[in-house]
Amino acid sequence: MSTPSDNATVPTGTLSGGNGAVEARFYQLIAGELKLRAAQVANTVELLDAGNTVPFIARYRKEATGKLDEEQIRAIQERIRYLRMLEERRQTILKSIAEQGKLTPELEAKIRAATRLQEVEDLYLPYRPKRRTRATIAREKGLEPLARLILKQELTEGDPLAVAAPYVNPEKEVHNAQEALAGAMDIVAETVSDDADIRKTVRELTWRRGVLRAEARDPKVRSDFEMYYDFREPLKRLVPHRILAINRGEREKFLRVAIEMEEAPVLAAIERRYLTNPASIFTPQLKAAIADAYRRLIAPAIAREIRHELTERADDHAIQVFARNLRALLLQAPVRNKTIMGIDPGYRTGCKVAVIDETGKYLEGETIFPHPPQSQVFEAKTILRRLIDRHGVDVVAIGNGTASRETERLVAELIREIREQGGREVQYVIVNEAGASVYSASPVAKEEFPDLEASMRGNISIARRLLDPLAELVKIEPKHIGVGLYQHDVNQKKLAEALHAVVESAVNLVGVDLNTASASLLRYVSGLTQRTAENIVRYRDEHGKFRNREQLKQVPGIGEVAFQQAAGFLRIPDGDNPLDNTGIHPESYPATWKLLELFGIAGDQAAWRDLRRRIQQEGISLAELAEKIGVGEPTLEDILANLEKPGRDPREDMPKPMLRSDVMDLEDLRVGMVLQGTVRNVVDFGAFVDIGLKRDGLVHVSQMADRFVKNPHEIVSVGDIVTVKVIGIDLERGRVQLSMKS
């Protein structure tokens, strides 16, 4: 495929986005915002417009983009989408105003110069077709000339009622001068309200000096929102999780919420623009119309806008938090070469137990009741011991839901008894079970285990989450994996898009074994869809294992484009071509073989790992070598990295899950005790850490480091193993405060 050169000039031809000159201006704007070169932006947009996926561009088009990463490419994608939408709206508005015969060169210039949708809409407001308003009715009564007189402020002598008298017209329901004056003031109020500059001024003042006020609808009613029953905070200081909490409290009818703004500075700002002649006889009427414009028209509209923007910002922030946590969860290190027992804890219906082998194959399942009476507990231990001995279980994965800690206690006791009797070494770990019940009732689960009950499928999922978190979690809608902040309250379309991008990124970063991956995993591979993923699995079932990447082209639905996008992310560990087990793209195979032949090691795979060191020892320039084999330097760098570690799983660098063999009670804790724990969730105000208790302890953001920490994600991620010190214990509420400070 031909790709734009990194040094290319910004394209001025028409792309899928529209007019070339306009697009070029967008590239310059985005480049300035993201601190990139315009050519990088242009090349990236061109690749996106051609249907290339973000992971593919980031991995295999580094020469074109100047080595932009996925985050930068997605930022460009999001911004160009917004600017194109803005341009489309701009053209619609210009056409509408022109058709009304009211488009002046000055207005057109302002609309074309606007870089935000809100600015464009403000400029369009006076020309937007309106429903019947008080001002519309007043115009129909012939009162617009009187309104213009009030706005001009030229009359300095006389009585306003006398000036209004000629506009009395009983046939049009203007019965006296007072009514005429009142109607004209409605027109003036709407004129002030429609002024884009006034809207901008009021908006800025409100953001700067406004306050969000929340109060209880009924102070006597207990709820989760009591801290907001009498709450006031400046808009500029509101943090996202408070906004989302207040929104939920309002939605659930516990709170009344409003934006409060002192009137005086706003009215003064509007009067400075509109009161040009204090000696005018209409000054009192003009002031009254300005106050009416603000109170009745501008303030409610600005309040709605600000509430909407606050919510959007909070949504975006919450989605980012969820996305980061999800990525960390998906990229947790797999526990390889272990036989795993999964336990889905429960009281009434008991705990479901399943054993899987090293490949994730289901071996056997049971139901136990590990709760009093003692005879039931003894039977539960007997069943678990039998399964452990029969299948050689190495690790027990316990879901973190209801009865989790009671189950943990039983397992810890059993492990101790096995150890004391000289049995095999067994450990356990608490696993995040969020979404397991969703998976167990899904079509994917039914297809995998058609003969098992839904309740039994969930604990297989828990066990597999330890074996390979990524391969298992992709079977569940991302929003059901509980590592977020108000994920059910935010914009669901945005959330779904962001989380799909996270899963897609994680899957393509790790790479997928073409011969073992499920359709659920394959569908996230660059260039594949649910249909083509299912076709791959069907082809594999019918024809046996893939021997090389080229065979992909025989799968229905996978043409040249899909192959190009997907091939580099699919691995074949024991295939015909050793390069098929690397992240090297087939389009770079000729260059790779040429490189290996240059050093005489094409047939010696063991020597591939030392190729970079040999190049350095011989003092060969990478730029010169890249030119010789016909690729760019970034591609050569990637080729060398893949030859060093073929089939490498980047998750190997991630912290391994913390395995335990004993249990701890809240009563065992002492202030000052130092422990190790696993980070379960990261939110704005800190991180929740599993230290082996019923409830996770909280490391508040102020206790994360010996320096000021603005964002907890700078310090920890989900799945990290951290050392913490106990600094507070609340036995009554079962809460533990932790510190990571040295």
Instruction: Tell me the sheet residues that pair with 428.
Output: 396, 660
Decide if pLDDT at 302 tops 50.
yes
Instruction: For residue 507, tell me if it sits in a domain.
Output: no
pLDDT band at 3 (very low <50, low <70, confident <90, very high): very low
Residues 399 and 455 in one domain: yes
End-to-end CA distance of the chain: 53
Decide if pLDDT at 5 tops 50.
no
Query: Which residues contact residue 11 at a Cβ distance below 8 angstroms, ignoring those fewer than 6 apart?
Result: 4, 20, 23, 24, 42, 46
Last residue of a domain, one of 85, 108, 127: 127
Instruction: For residue 325, tell me if it sits in a domain.
Output: no
Residues 143 and 266 in one domain: yes
672 touches 658 (CB < 8 A)? no
Instruction: For residue 551, tell me if it sits in a domain.
Output: yes
Residues 595 and 525 in one domain: yes
Q: Look over the chain and give the mean of its residue pLDDT values, rounded to a whole number.
A: 91
Q: Please confirm whether the linkage preceding 573 is cis (ω < 30° from 0).
A: no
Q: For residue range 122-174, what is the model confidence (pLDDT) as tens digits?
A: 999 999 988 899 999 999 999 999 999 999 999 999 999 999 999 999 999 99
The percentage of the chain sitting over the pLDDT mark of 70, rounded to a whole number, equals 97
Residue type for position 216: A
| Res 485: pLDDT | 65
The enclosing domain of 672 has a CATH number of 2.40.50.140
Q: Which domain holds residue 480?
A: 340-499
C-alpha span between 554 and 565 (Å, rounded): 16
Decide if pLDDT at 10 tops 50.
no
The pair of structure tokens assigned to 161 is 């009622």
The enclosing domain of 574 has a CATH number of 1.10.150.310
| Res 15: pLDDT | 38
Decide if pLDDT at 74 tops 80.
yes
Last residue of a domain, one of 80, 102, 127: 127
Residues 93 and 40 in one domain: yes
Q: For residue range 374-420, what is the model confidence (pLDDT) as tens digits?
A: 888 999 999 999 999 999 999 999 988 777 878 888 999 999 999 99
Decide if pLDDT at 13 tops 50.
no
Q: For residue range 231-248, what is the model confidence (pLDDT) as tens digits?
A: 999 999 999 989 999 999
What are the phi and psi torsion angles at 723 (to 5°)? -95, 125
Instruction: For residue 327, tell me if it sits in a domain.
Output: no
Residue-wise over 463-483: b if at least 16 C-beta within 10 A, else e? Answer: bbbbbbbbbbbbbbebbebbb
| Res 664: pLDDT | 66
Could you tell me which of 629, 595, 631 has the C-alpha nearest to residue 612?
Answer: 595
Q: For residue range 242-293, what is the model confidence (pLDDT) as tens digits?
A: 999 999 999 999 999 999 999 999 999 999 999 999 999 999 999 999 999 9
Residues 591 and 539 in one domain: yes
Instruction: For residue 311, tell me if it sits in a domain.
Output: yes
Residues 380 and 438 in one domain: yes
Of the listed ranges 74-83, 563-572, 667-676, the least confidently predicted one is: 667-676
Q: What is the pTM of this model?
A: 0.83
Instruction: For residue 335, tell me if it sits in a domain.
Output: no
- Please state the rounded mean pLDDT for residues 515-543: 95
Could you tell me which of 205, 239, 506, 518 has the C-alpha nearest to residue 361?
Answer: 518
Q: For residue range 663-712, what is the model confidence (pLDDT) as tens digits?
A: 667 777 888 888 888 898 898 889 999 887 777 899 999 999 999 998 89
| Res 648: pLDDT | 83
Residue-wise over 110-134: b if at least 16 C-beta within 10 A, else e? Answer: bbeebeeeebbbbbbebbeeeeeeb
pLDDT band at 732 (very low <50, low <70, confident <90, very high): confident
Q: How far is CA 538 from the centre of its chain?
A: 33
Query: Running DSSP on this structure, what letter comes out for residue 428?
Result: E
C-alpha span between 319 and 684 (Å, rounded): 12
- Please state the rounded mean pLDDT for residues 67-77: 96
Q: How far is CA 17 from the centre of its chain?
A: 25
pLDDT band at 477 (very low <50, low <70, confident <90, very high): confident
Residues 517 and 615 in one domain: yes
Element (H, E) at 407: helix 404-420
Last residue of a domain, one of 108, 127, 146: 127
The pair of structure tokens assigned to 149 is 């007189």
Instruction: For residue 64, tell me if it sits in a domain.
Output: yes
Decide if pLDDT at 482 tops 70.
no
C-alpha span between 554 and 550 (Å, rounded): 8
- Please state the rounded mean pLDDT for residues 338-345: 94
Instruction: For residue 225, tell me if it sits in a domain.
Output: no
- Please state the rounded mean pLDDT for residues 182-209: 96
**Total structural domains within the chain:** 5
Q: Long-range contact list for 123-132, CB < 8 A, 24+ apart?
A: 123/93, 123/196, 124/93, 124/96, 124/97, 125/193, 125/194, 125/196, 125/199, 126/191, 126/194, 126/195, 127/93, 127/96, 127/97, 127/100, 127/102
569 touches 522 (CB < 8 A)? no
Decide if pLDDT at 12 tops 70.
no
Please indicate whether residue 16 or residue 566 has the higher confidence score (pLDDT): 566
User: CA–CA distance from 483 to each of 333, 499, 690 (Å)?
Assistant: 17, 12, 14
| Res 409: pLDDT | 86
The enclosing domain of 374 has a CATH number of 3.30.420.140
The pair of structure tokens assigned to 571 is 């691995």
